[in-house]
Structure 1
Amino acid sequence: MATTTRYVFCVDGPLSDEARSAFLGMRITEAPRQTLIDGEVLDESHLHGILAQLQALGMTVVSVRPVPG
């Protein structure tokens, strides 16, 4: 049985509408200078896919961390 891990991705600046639509199903929280995107990640391949999508959208990734629990 596969288990998912919740991750929080912190990126510089706000997300465009295009970026928001790329992360449907994930929670997006905007702070003054950064945006937090969090949600379930299926496996390492999925994690790398999310990072590639952020890069393709021109976002600067500040941090990526799994959420314990």
Structure 2
Amino acid sequence: MSTVYEFRVDGALPDAARDAFCDMRIEELPAQTVISGPVIDESHLHGVVAQLRALGLTVVSARPVPSAGRP
């Protein structure tokens, strides 16, 4: 079972970086970009963060998104 995570990075996401996260939702805010989508396990989580850093992005936060019906 996967958990939906929200990743916040400083600034805008370059077009080339968007391709790396094509299966995730991308929302641009004035000073940050929010990338959210399912993460299947801890290894996948670390991989997403590593990919963000490899693209030269500053990761501000990475957190699970509470789902409706979950305590």
TM-score range, shorter chain: over 0.9
| Separation in structure 1 between the aligned mates of residue 31 and residue 66 of structure 2, nearest angstrom | 25
Q: Pick the aligned partner of 1:26 from 19, 24, 40.
A: 24
Structure 2 residue aligned with 1:7: 5
Give the corresponding residue for 2:45. Answer: 47
In the aligned structure 1, how far is the partner of 2:62 from the partner of 2:55? 16
**Structure-1 separation of matches of 2:62 and 2:15:** 22
Distance in 1, Cα, partners of 2:61 & 2:4 = 14
Distance of 1:68 and 1:31 partners within structure 2 = 21
TM-score (norm 1): 0.95
2:62 alignment partner AA: V
Identify the residue that residue 64 of structure 1 maps to in structure 2: 62
Segments of structure 2 that go 5 or more residues without pairing to the other structure are none
Aligned residues: 67
**What secondary structure, in the 3-state scheme, does the structure 1 residue paired with 2:33 have?**
strand
- The 2-side partners of 1:29 and 1:68 are apart by 18
Percent identity over the alignment is 64
> Unpaired segments of 5 or more residues in structure 1?
none
